[in-house]
Structure 1
Amino acid sequence: MNELAAILLAGGRGSRMGGVQKPLLEVGGRTLLAAAVTAAHEAGCDPIIAVGAPVVTTEGPIAPVIWVREDPPFGGPAAAILAALPLISASRTLVLACDLPRVGAVVPLLRTAPAEADGACLVDESGRRQPLAGLYRTDALRAAGAAMPEHGRGASVRALLEGLQVTEVPASDDIAADIDTWDDLNEARRRNP
C-alpha cells in the first residue's frame, strides 16, 4: 500500500473569473493542473485523483491521473473530496486546489508538519487557513465525511475538517496564494514569469 495519495480539486465553476476553467490557466509556462499533477507525482502520490470534468492539457501526461466527479457536479469541495476517497487506500491524502500557482513549494512545506495530528494545512501571513492546500490522514477524512449529510453536497472543506485536529503550517503569502480573480492571475504571472 502506498503511503500517500492526492486529490486535486479541478471542478469549480470559476464564477469569479467568468466561468473560466482555472486548471487550464497558465502560470510560468504551464497550466495550473500540470503544476498540481507534477507536485503530487514528485511527492510520490499514487493514485493521483482529479475531481471535476476531465480536461486535456497540451503538456501531455506528466503522471497517470484518475478523473472522478462528485454527484451532482459542482457539489462543492467537501463533496469533491468525498467522491475521491473511495479510490484511496494510502494512509495520507494530499488535497490540493488546482488554482495554486506555487504548488511545487506547497507540498514540501506540508510534509514538514508533525504526523501526530489528523492533518496539516497552510496558513498565510494574515492567519487565514488554506484547507485546500493540505495533507490529511485518510481515515480522519473518511470519518469526518461519514458524519456529513448528503455526502458533503454544498459543504465547505472547513465544515468537513471542523472536528479534526489540523496543524497550521505557516507559509508566505506568495506560497499560500491561490487564484480566484483575474487580478490574482496577473499577480501570479508577474511573480512567476
Structure 2
Amino acid sequence: MTFAAIVLAGGRAERLDGADKASVEYQGRTLLEHAIEALADAAEVVVVGDPVPTTRPVTFTRESPRYGGPVAALLTGRDALLGSARTLGVLAVDMPKVTPWTFRRLRQAADGRDGAFLTDADGRRQLAGVLDADRLDGVRPEPEAQHGMALRTLLADLDLALVPPVGDEGHDIDSWADLRDL
C-alpha cells in the first residue's frame, strides 16, 4: 500500500462545549464523513477518536492516556494501521473543506521532501498534510515524551512543503462561531 491516512478526532473540543467534533454536522453530514471523503485515495483510514457510524470502513483507536494531543494521536494512528504505507495522510476532523484534490496537491508537493502541509490563509500550518512514513518513524520520540508534545516540535527537523489553501480548505472549526461562519 502506498497511501494510508489518519484522522485526528479525539480532542476535548473545549470551545465547542466539549462536543464530539466527529459527530458535529456540517452541510448534512458529520465532520468525520467529510474527513473520510477527503481521504478517498487512501487504501486504509484510521480514526483516532471514539467510534461513530461511518459509510466507509475505518479502524477506530484511542491514544492512551486519552487527550494526549496531536503527536500522541498521530503516532497511535500510525501504530494502528493494518498495512504498511509509504505515505501517511493526516487530517484533523474539523476541516470539512479539505477534499481528495487537496490531498493530491499535498502528495505532489511532498515529492522529494519529507512531507507537505496545508496552511491557512495567513500561512500558518494546519493539521492537514502528508508525511513520508519512514521519516516520521525516524523522528518518533519515546512514548513518555509523546503525550502533550506539540506537532511542530515533532516535525521540526523534517523538510516540509507548505501548500497555500484554495478557497476555504484551510479553515478549521474550533468554535460554534467557526461552524456558523463557514
What are the equivalent positions in structure 2 for 1:41-190 lying under 5 Å apart? 42-43=40-41, 45-56=42-53, 61-88=54-81, 89-104=84-99, 105-130=101-126, 132-145=127-140, 147-148=141-142, 150-172=144-166, 174-188=168-182
- The answer to whether the 8 A contact 2:61-2:80 is kept is no
- Taking every aligned residue pair, what percent have the same amino acid on both sides? 42
Distance in 2 between residues matched to 1:173 and 1:70, nearest whole Å: 33
SS in 2 for 1:176: coil
Q: CA deviation at 1:177?
A: 0.3
Farther-moved stretch of structure 1 (105-114 vs 17-26): 105-114
Distance in 1 between residues matched to 2:30 and 2:116, nearest whole Å: 25
TM-score, normalization by structure 2:
0.92
TM-score, normalization by structure 1:
0.87
SS in 2 for 1:103: coil
Runs of 4+ residues deviating >4 angstroms: none
Count of residue correspondences? 179
- The answer to whether the 8 A contact 1:124-1:171 is kept is yes
SS in 2 for 1:90: coil
In structure 1, what is the equivalent of residue 8 of structure 2?
Answer: 9
Residue ranges of structure 2 left out of the alignment (5+ in a row) = none
In structure 2, what is the equivalent of residue 191 of structure 1?
Answer: none
Letter in 1 for 2:24: L
SS in 1 for 2:168: helix
Distance in 2 between residues matched to 1:126 and 1:170, nearest whole Å: 9
Q: Deviations over 1:117-148 (max 9, x none)?
A: 10000122211111x10011011111111x35
Letter in 1 for 2:163: V
Against the structure 1 CA distance between its residues 7 and 114, is the aligned structure 2 distance closer, same or farther, given a 3 Å change threshold?
closer
Residue ranges of structure 1 left out of the alignment (5+ in a row) = 189-193
- The answer to whether the 8 A contact 2:110-2:160 is kept is no
Higher helix share: 1
